[in-house]
Amino acid sequence: MSTISLPEPDRSVLDRQSQIVKALRDIVDRDAVIDDEDGRRVFDTDALTAYRRLPLAVVLPSTTDEVCQILRYCLENGVKIVARGAGTSLAGGALPAEDAVVVGVSKMNRVLEIDYDNRTARVQTGITNLQISNAVQGDGYFYAPDPSSQLACTLAGNIAMNSGGAHCLKYGVTTNNVLGLKLVLMNGEVVEVGGPHLDSPGYDLLGLTIGSEGQFGIVTEATVRILRAAEGARPMLIGFQSSEAAGACVSGIIASGIIPVAIEFMDKPAIHVCEEFAGAGYPLDVEALLIVEVEGSDDEINDMLERISAIANEFDPTVLKVSQSEEESAAIWKGRKSAFGAMGRIADYLCMDGTIPLTRLPLVLTGISRICKENGFRVANIFHAGDGNLHPLILYDANNPGELERAEACGADILKLCVDVGGCLTGEHGVGIEKRDLMRVQFDDIDLVQQMRVKAVFDPDWLLNPAKVFPLELRNLA
């Protein structure tokens, strides 16, 4: 069993299960409530996969009004709620509890309005990340955040965790690309936050809500920023004989003032696994690989690639290869985007998510290798190097008793290292349950209690996504 714990379920709520299910079926279509064990088991975990909890019931509303009624009923009857998009969370953020109702937004997946004059789109949040871009790409636009799971992950989950992606070095993460939200509070009230404009008066409730991990309410609609697609884009591959040289090259590129659209890092274990899976054309005789993509006109692209090549040459690369076709570019990104799935073919793994100052990248990469070696684990590093968002994958065997716990302890040491060098516990995966007990590494109790008091303003009874984000022993102090 994992060392991460959840509170014991509320027996009185479990005893009322049939009554709760009946009430939910009075609100939504009968088949939109799932209460059989096999059906609920589909929702018993998320992409973290190391932990499972069978929810009390699952309800799939189709409208904001239905969400309002569900939350109002659950508040009146003391029923916990776990909001869920596609379940691609990598920190246990969508993990249910036995006495909680999962409210999934997957049926709320429509594009409601596209405004090209103001470059916005209003969508329901059950839409997948990639579907937003697909809806506007025919007119030359796109939605910038692009997590590796963008084919499956929903905007709801992206908003909850403030997700990023490979191309967010230039365009920013979710909070930089969402302008407005429709938020249903636990009491059933609907709050409109922000809107189809750049700035709102008063407190920044939009910034507060994005990244709140489903603990303030359920977001059913969002107004997002859509951008005109660049004239062209081209990636290049830069291979090095050490991870430290690759890390130093990243710092050199950013320090020069060049802002590529993406800088992605892969070490040797990741390169080999991804190449075998995707046939992307990655060099296999290097210790570390950078994927650097720039965009603009042909002249702009050629100029930036030349300047980046000159910087890279200062760190003795063994490979400098520029994509020569759209097919080659697609293959390069296919390898990177499928990295986590490809790694899952050879081992169980924990995907960590810490962020560090770029200047500390060589030091931290060395530290990650040392920590994993000392704990007896292999590690593969795949991450967004341009903004210092690390994703070391700790490879382990879930069938070996105690190995998961040891891998978790190894991951905790890596995240502590990130904080020690001036970084933070998460870049885009959120805290969830994975890093809940590590929050004290980054924050003292005064900081945490203040954050918990903000949570309590939106959810005084702590029914929304319970037992996540904050250390359980601090609950009584809020």
- Identify the structural domains of the chain with CATH numbers, from first to last: 111-228 (3.30.465.10), 234-338 (3.30.70.3450), 347-436 (3.30.70.2740)
Closest CA to 465 of 3, 6, 2: 6
β strands within 146-232, DSSP E: 178-184, 190-194, 218-225, 227-228
Burial grade of 220 (CB within 10 A; 0-12, 13-18, 19 or more): buried
Number of other residues whose CB lies within 10 A of the CB of residue 460: 12
CA distance 384 to 427: 10
**Chain centre to alpha carbon of residue 324:** 31
User: What letter would DSSP give residue 195?
Assistant: -
Compute the Cα dihedral for 42, 43, 47, 50 and give only its sign.
Answer: negative
Which pLDDT belongs to residue 367?
Answer: 94
Which pLDDT belongs to residue 478?
Answer: 64
CA distance 93 to 161: 8
DSSP string, 416-472: HHHHHTT-BS-SSS--TTTTGGGHHHHS-HHHHHHHHHHHHHH-TT--BSTT-SS-G
For the sheet containing 33-34, what is the strand order? 33-34, 57-59, 100-104, 80-84
Closest CA to 346 of 390, 393, 391: 393
Tens digit of each residue's pLDDT, the chain (478 residues): 345 777 889 999 999 999 999 999 999 999 999 999 999 999 999 988 888 999 999 999 999 999 999 999 999 999 999 999 999 999 999 999 999 999 999 999 999 999 999 999 999 999 999 999 999 999 999 999 999 899 999 999 999 999 998 888 999 999 999 999 999 999 999 999 999 887 778 899 999 999 999 999 999 999 999 999 999 999 999 999 998 899 899 989 999 999 999 999 999 999 999 999 989 999 999 999 999 999 999 999 999 999 999 999 999 999 999 999 999 999 999 999 888 888 888 999 999 999 999 889 889 989 999 999 999 999 999 989 888 899 999 999 999 999 999 999 999 999 999 999 999 999 999 999 999 999 999 999 999 999 999 999 999 999 999 999 999 988 777 6
As given in the structure block, the two tokens for residue 281 are 């054309």
3-state secondary structure of 104: strand
Closest CA to 103 of 123, 132, 130, 74: 74
3-state secondary structure of 130: helix
**Chain centre to alpha carbon of residue 317:** 31
Which pLDDT belongs to residue 59?
Answer: 98
Give the amino acid at 128.
Answer: T
CA distance 285 to 301: 27
DSSP string, 376-421: T-EEEEEEEGGGTEE-EEEEE-TTSTTHHHHHHHHHHHHHHHHHHT
As given in the structure block, the two tokens for residue 268 are 């040797």
For residue 237, what are the contacts with CB-CB under 8 A and spacing of at least 6?
281, 282, 283, 289, 290, 291, 319, 320, 321, 332
Closest CA to 3 of 407, 275, 379, 326: 407
